[in-house]
Structure 1
Amino acid sequence: MCPSGSQPDELPVAGMQLDALGRIVRWDAAAEALLGYPASEVLGSRGELLVRAEGGSGAASLLERVAVGGATTGRCTARHRDGHLVELAVWTYRVPDSGDVLAFLVDVSAVLRTRVPHAVLDGLFRHSPIGLSAFDSELRYLHVNTALETINGVPEVRHLGRRLSEVLPEVNGAEVESVMERVLDTGEPVVDFRATGRTPATPYEDRMWSCSYFRLEDAWGHPFGVGASVVDITARLRAEQAAAASRRRLDLLNEASTRVGTTLDMRQTAQELADVVLRGLADIATVDLIAGVVDDATAESDRDLTGGIVVQRLGKAPARGSPAARALAPLGAILHYPADAPYAQAVARREPFVVAEVDEHTITAPSCHTSAVRQLRELGVYSLLMVPLLARGRVLGVTTLFREFPARRFSSDDVTLARDIASRAAVHLDNAHLYAREHETAVTLQRSLLPQQLTPPPGIEVAHCYRPASDVNEVGGDWYDVVAMPEGRAALAVGDVMGHGIAAAATMGQLRSAMQALARLALPPGQLLRQLDTGLADLPDAALATCTYAVCDPAAGSCSITRAGHLPPAVVRDDGTAELLELPAGAPLGVGGIDFVPTELTLPPGSMLVLYTDGLVEARCADIDQRLTQLLDVLSANAGLPLDGLSQAVMDGLAPAPDDDVALLLARICPPKPGSE
């Protein structure tokens, strides 16, 4: 029998002893297990039970050879007690000085079953590309295969009898051995445990391995060690990490495309850029625009940067937070950088400027702006990257990205991503600047075409106000005017050219000039609007406009008023009550073929006529009727104010930041002073 504690690959060998007469005198338990006969049935017999019934057993010939010679080996066939045949390998030899023969029997099929696993295991250990090893119960190496020798860079002889932490001191051996101890104690295997570190095979490179552990047990289930497999997964993990980093960069680029440039405001766009790069690319970010660059048509490559550059900070994130963020200049600050500073170098070269790691070497580098870098290092900045904001061949400014300790340095992939984000943001910044410049041009043109000073005839007091919209698309086209007419009368007009921008402002100027000329000819309101309608239709752009035109006679207290598709005017009585005038709406000027019907009103002294454009009462998500009621409430509540004060109260109450530009004209009827002409 196999003794307790034998290795699992040992074979049970049956033993028997025959005396000089060929009788069986010893029959051990292994023989009983092999052939099924108890000792009581075979002792004293000559082995007939072992011989096949049909004869020809090789046992007799073996015994005969033993009788005349020494030890011999061979094969024979015996019959098991239950009747089946068993092929045996037999080894016999004579016991000296006794005449007895000892015979050892082994089942041939068991030998074959044992040889196959041995061949498989031997091939596995010799030729497997996976590192394999076996440890004893003290976690000392018992065996390693060729692949593991290559992985570790250590020959097998230097493994044997030593623990992993002794063979590979730069690997997380304590964690690995803790896992193996748990496997040895519980019998539960561990799959894909990650070991990391450096080995003699790669002494200057960190590697990672996927390790699996299982308990080794003998045939009786007694644990005697741990088996392990080791696969180097460094390349795979690096590829996975690179793919994940690429996905993150693509996600950030897509996010920047949607989060930057949501408005045509330069400051908000700059802040959006600073905010978005904090979502995985930097810990701190600033966005600075070069003072005067966007107003100058000269390309930066042709600019003289020997005196450095002046920038204005339009974006910063976070505004406070870390010591470095607090130390950086706030939003709106004007900053000057000398020609040798990284800012100036990034602008001059039109290329990102990278300080991969802010260390002593960087501080002492002659090409670096050392004082600023030293301060950043003291505040905890690890790496910084400056990227010029290029749009349409011009450098608009620089965005600077900072990473704080502990952090990784900016890589070439980070620089590429930052350049892409900055390039897209620069286009939005340039668009915002062009938008703002057009807005300013439209407002300037609009204001230049409006009357700078109104001189009404005696008996009429006027106040006016114009407020441009915040959006360039909503600027242009609103106007007002007061024209003195013969016989002490006055023409009052408010209009709105449909459309916006510079073109609408130019059309408005033409329309107002025509209205002034026709008013001085004392045309009745209906005829004047028909003439304007005809003239507007002759313009090349076929513009449309709304208008309210009134002719007031303060001496008579009368007023003739006509609408051309415009909102109804309001009148404020001398007792402070306000109401909207019910007048025929008419059609916008430029439609053509429409008759404009005037309405005659009585405006006694103290009455006030209020003319306005739609920007005053139209607003997003607001009902027009409610807004008109609000206008009447403001007029009534402030009717006792001087006209300038009332005008300001109306504008502040209804259009503090209008979506559309607004024109407002107030005219109060006053009795003429005695002796006035």
Structure 2
Amino acid sequence: MHEEMPLEDLISGAAQNAGGWLGALPVALVATSGDGTIVRWNHGAQELLGYDPHHVLGRHIADLLHPGADRSLGRSLWETAATGRGVMGTVTAWHRGGHPLELEIWACPVPDRRHGASAVLVFAADAHAARRIRGSSAVWDGLFARSPVGIAVLDTQLRFLQVNPALEAMNGLTESAHVGRRLAEVLPEVNAGEMEEAMRQVLATGEPVLNRRRTGRTPADPDHDHVWACSYVRVEDPAGRPIGVIASLLDITSQQRDHTEAEAGRRRLALLTEASSRIGASLDLERTAQELADLAVPHLASAVTVDVLDSLARGNEPGMGLTGGVALRRLGKAPLTGSAVTQILAPLGRTLTFPATAPYTQALAARQPFLIAHLDSMAVASASRHTPKPAQLVETGVHSFMMVPLVARGLVLGVASFYRTRPFEPFGSDDVTLAGELAARAAISIDNARLYHHEHETAVVLQRSMLPQHVTPPPGLEIAHRYLPASDVNEVGGDWYDVVPLAGGRAGLLMGDVMGHGIAAAAVMGRLSATVRALARLDMPPTALLQQLEATLADLAEPMLATFLYVVCDPATGRCTITRAGHPPPAVAEPDGTVYLVKTPPGAPLGVGGVTFTTTDLTLPPGSLLVLYTDGLIEARNRDIDERLGELTGLLTEPLQPLDHLCDSLIAHLVPASADDDIALLTARIGRNHPNGTYHLNGR
């Protein structure tokens, strides 16, 4: 039989062994004698109630209750404990600081040989704190058991200590299959190494790791990959030392799939938006085809080629039938360098001919995409009857292929081919749809380029036919002229010039510019040119002539404007009469090197209506130059017009040079690149050239 333990040892042991949730609270340990006198008062009691031991030792324990409380409850609890039964209850004590404090107490009798009667050992704790801890424990137990989130507790060696039912269901393994094992041992088909590294980081730093992705397969669903969002928090003892990790996991596979699909949708939309701004802006056939290829790599495919009907590439109309095969011109290819795939494929500019039975021809004839999601030996063998390229492409890693015809306004224009290598997945239905959208945009742009070039050529032919074919100036007047249409990527305008013989050996020098582009502008230009010739031959005064041109424009169904410059020049006297209707002023270069722009009222463009036109007279010395031009010669992007006019006059400081050379020099210096607008230029030198190189007016 064991000897009874002294009261002091019982109190010391109780203080050391208080565990569970009680161990997380400041607990007062008080001992009384059999009559209720306090005989022990530990440090915890002093912290809880504020009394030093000498304040309470020898007093009855009931004296510590709230003065206004019913003390009978406290005495009853103590008497019950003293009779041999343990009790629990709640009492209101009086803190030394002068305020009430609700306590939960646990009291039990303790035999005490020294005092000859049973003593009472009392534990006391703050009632509010005790209830909070009990509630937290209950919440944890409920959360662990019922939460749909997978929860695991692991020790510092990252071995499972406990898992909840939700995690058992996620992993397809019972709790006993987890306990004592590490993640890599339990689930070898997930990225366990990354997860354990994250947990070690939490143990080392104490900083939680949130939303780390675990991916792979578990026994719960061994045939499909899953994604889990994992968070890890360090568990510490009261001294702050790490004792383990709590892991929480949520299966986000469906959300991840939705996010992936949404992200793919955003990428497709962004690609289509970029296609709208990039493809076809130039109205150039070759550039449009290359833009499609460049845009699709690498966003959609590893390599892309774009082939246009050879007839279309040569400027002819596309053929309507493909029964006898097809000839295609390669106008787009990406990437141009650094790809083993594109090294095998035919280079840019090559014309490729395919028989009626070839996949290319069939795709064009059907006007439907042609897809080989998986390039296998059977598919390669079928295609290799026409070319060895499929087998070579497979050797370079191509595993998926599709062709999409370029169709616009009912016309087949060509085909775009898409190739995929690893790590790309095989082409799917979404990829076919996206490729079709890109091809449709490119096809419309290619057809727009076709229609534009057709109209452009028509306008150029029309405009050239309406310009004077043979200019015959009167004696005493030397003439040179140039017409430069806008570049292929800009529409032809309505610029024109003319020299009209007048009575008395005079000449009318004309320069006009119809505002607008294309066939309509060229047609109006021709109408105005014919009207001017007819009216000038009637020797109509310049201001009256401009009023008649104004009326001609007013008769048009669609309102149009035109600038106009009319100079009546008498070579015999050097006298010139100048009339402007919104046109740039003529430039004059005199034989002594004096160069200037004629100061004459600018007037308003023809077609504005209600304008009174005026004339300006000046007399030029023999050998003087008159330079008439349209705004295409002097206008330039991001350049001031006065600066450009200064450049023009600066090029006229050598007035005795041949006029043809002067015209070429002006265009070469002022328009070194392709013209954004039409350019018309007319130069006239006044006076006869004597054999000695001097000039004089007729009859002088």
* Range class of TM-score, shorter chain: 0.7 to 0.9
2:652 is paired with a residue of what secondary structure? helix
Return the offset for 1:307. 0.6
- Could you tell me which residue of structure 2 aligns to residue 11 of structure 1? none
Q: Distance in 2 between matches of 1:168 and 1:137?
A: 19
The question of whether the paired residues in 1 share the 8 Å contact of 2:322 and 2:365 is answered with no
Aligned to 1:650: 666
Q: 1:415 maps to which residue?
A: 432
Deviation at 1:652, TM superposition (A): 1.8
In the alignment, structure 1 residue 168 sits paired with structure 2 residue 187? yes
Query: Counterparts in 2 of 1:291-330, with a 5 A limit?
Result: 291-293=310-312, 303-313=321-331, 315-325=332-342, 328-330=345-347
* Cross-structure match for 1:454: 471
Q: Does residue 443 of the first structure (1) align with residue 464 of the second (2)?
A: no
Deviation track 1:526-556 (CA, whole Å, cap 9, x = no partner) reads: 66556555555555556554444455555x3
- When structure 1 is superposed on structure 2, of 222-231 and 606-615 the one drifting more is 222-231
Task: Compute the displacement of 1:466 (Å).
Answer: 0.7
CA-to-partner distance for each residue in 1:100-122, whole Å, 9 max, x for gaps? xxxxx999999999999997776
Match of 2:484 in 1: 467
Q: Tell whether 2:633 aligns with 1:611.
A: no
| Superposition map of 1:523-542 within 5 A | 532=549, 535-541=552-558
What residue is the counterpart of 2:56 in the other structure?
A: none
Which among 424, 427, 438 is matched to residue 441 of structure 2?
A: 424
Paired position in structure 2 for 1:232: 251
The amino acid across from 1:648 in the alignment is D
Q: 2:688 aligns with which of 656, 659, 670?
A: 670
Change (3 A) 1:171 1:532: closer
The one-letter amino acid of 1:197's match is G
Matches for 1:384-423 after TM superposition, within 5 Å: 384-423=401-440
Asked if structure 1 preserves the Cα contact closer than 8 Å seen for 2:579 and 2:613, the reply is no
- Taking the TM superposition and a 5 Å limit, the aligned residue runs for 1:69-80 are none
Distance verdict in 2 for CA 1:253–1:585, change over 3 Å: closer
AA at the equivalent of 1:464: H
The SS at the match of 2:653 is helix
Give the corresponding residue for 1:290.
Answer: 309
**Match for 2:487: what amino acid?**
S
For residues 441 and 453 of structure 1, the distance between their equivalents in structure 2, rounded to whole angstroms, comes to 22
1:241 maps to 260
- Which of residues 167, 179, 192 in structure 2 aligns to 1:148? 167
Q: How far apart are 1:445 and its partner, in Å?
A: 0.8
Cα distance change of structure 1 residues 85 and 428 upon mapping to structure 2, 3 Å threshold:
closer
SS in 1 for 2:222: strand
Q: What's the offset of the Cα at 1:54?
A: 6.4
- Taking every aligned residue pair, what percent have the same amino acid on both sides? 49
Q: Which amino acid aligns with 2:671?
A: A
The aligned residue for residue 579 of structure 2 is 563
Q: Contact conserved, 2:498 with 2:510, CA < 8 A, in 1?
A: yes
In structure 2, what is the Cα distance between the partners aligned to 1:500 and 1:207? 61
Aligned equivalents of 1:41 and 1:504: distance in 2? 123
Match of 2:49 in 1: none
Partner-residue secondary structure (3-state), 2:517: coil
2:518 to 470, 482, 501: 501
Counterpart of 1:480 (choices 494, 497, 512) is 497
Name the CA shift for 1:557/1:424 in 2 (closer, same or farther; >3 Å).
Answer: same
Counterpart residue type for residue 660 of structure 1: D
Q: Choose the corresponding residue for 2:213, options 187, 194, 198.
A: 194
Q: Distance in 1 between matches of 2:245 and 2:546?
A: 103
Deviations 1:184-235 (A, max 9, x none): 6776655444322222222222222233445667899887765544332222
Report the Cα distance in structure 2 between the residues aligned to 1:544 and 1:249, rounded to whole angstroms. Answer: 45
Q: Does 1:510 align with 2:523?
A: no
Q: State the alpha-carbon separation in 2 of the partners of residues 175 and 593 from structure 1.
A: 83
Which of 620, 627, 649 pairs up with 2:644?
627
CA gap of 1:368–1:393, structure 2 versus 1, over 3 A, is farther
Q: How many residues align?
A: 620
SS in 2 for 1:636: coil
> Does the CA-based 8 Å contact 2:227-2:253 persist in structure 1?
yes
Contact 2:364 2:415 in 1 (8 A): yes
CA distance in 2, matches of 1:542, 1:129: 75
Unaligned runs of 5+ in 1: 1-15, 19-23, 43-48, 63-73, 91-104
**TM superposition shift of 1:310:** 1.1
CA RMSD of aligned residues (A): 5.1
Q: CA deviation at 1:648?
A: 1.6
| Cα distance per residue 1:5-39 (max 9 Å; x no partner) | xxxxxxxxxxx979xxxxx6887944775685599
Q: Contact 2:322 / 2:361 at 8 angstroms: preserved in 1?
A: no
The gaps in structure 2 that reach 5 residues or longer are 15-28, 37-59, 62-73, 95-102, 110-120, 692-700
Deviates more, 1:233-242 or 1:483-492: 483-492
Structure 2 residue identity aligned to 1:563: T
Secondary structure of 2:511's aligned partner: strand
Task: Check conservation: 1:442, 1:472, Cα contact below 8 A.
Answer: no
The equivalent of 1:376 in structure 2 is: 393
Counterpart in 1 of 2:45?
none
- Aligned letter for 2:272? L
* C-alpha contact 1:572 1:639 (8 A) present in aligned 2: no
For residue 448 of structure 1, report the CA deviation from its aligned partner: 1.0
Partners of 2:341 and 2:521 lie apart in 1 by 49
Once residues 30 and 327 of structure 2 are traced to their aligned partners in structure 1, the CA distance between those partners, rounded to angstroms, is 103
- TM-score, normalization by structure 1: 0.73
Q: How far has the Cα of 1:609 moved from its partner?
A: 3.7
- AA matched with 2:465: S
Q: Tell me: CA distance 1:356–1:88, structure 2 relative to 1, closer, same or farther (3 Å).
A: farther
Change (3 A) 1:501 1:17: same
Alignment partner, residue 13 of structure 1: none
The equivalent of 2:226 in structure 1 is 207
* 2: CA distance, partners of 1:526 / 1:86: 119
CA change 1:304–1:113 in 2 (3 A) is: closer
Q: Do the aligned partners of 1:454 and 1:481 also contact (CA within 8 Å) in 2?
A: yes
CA contact (8 A) 1:342 1:368 kept: no
One-letter identity of the residue aligned with 1:617: I
Amino acid at match of 2:533: Q
Partner of 2:367: 350
- Matched to 1:231, the amino acid is L
Corresponding residue SS for 1:199: coil
Determine the C-alpha separation between the residues in 1 that align with 2:82 and 2:35: 19
Counterpart of 1:174 in 2: which secondary structure? helix
Secondary structure (helix, strand or coil) at the match of 1:462 reads strand
The secondary structure found in structure 2 opposite 1:635 is coil
Letter in 2 for 1:427: I
TM-score of the superposed pair, with normalisation by structure 2: 0.71
- How do 1:11-50 and structure 2 match up within 5 A? 29-30=9-10, 36-37=30-31
- 1:129 is the counterpart of 2:145: no
CA contact (8 A) 1:525 1:598 kept: no
Q: Is the CA contact 2:585–2:600 (under 8 Å) kept in the aligned structure 1?
A: yes
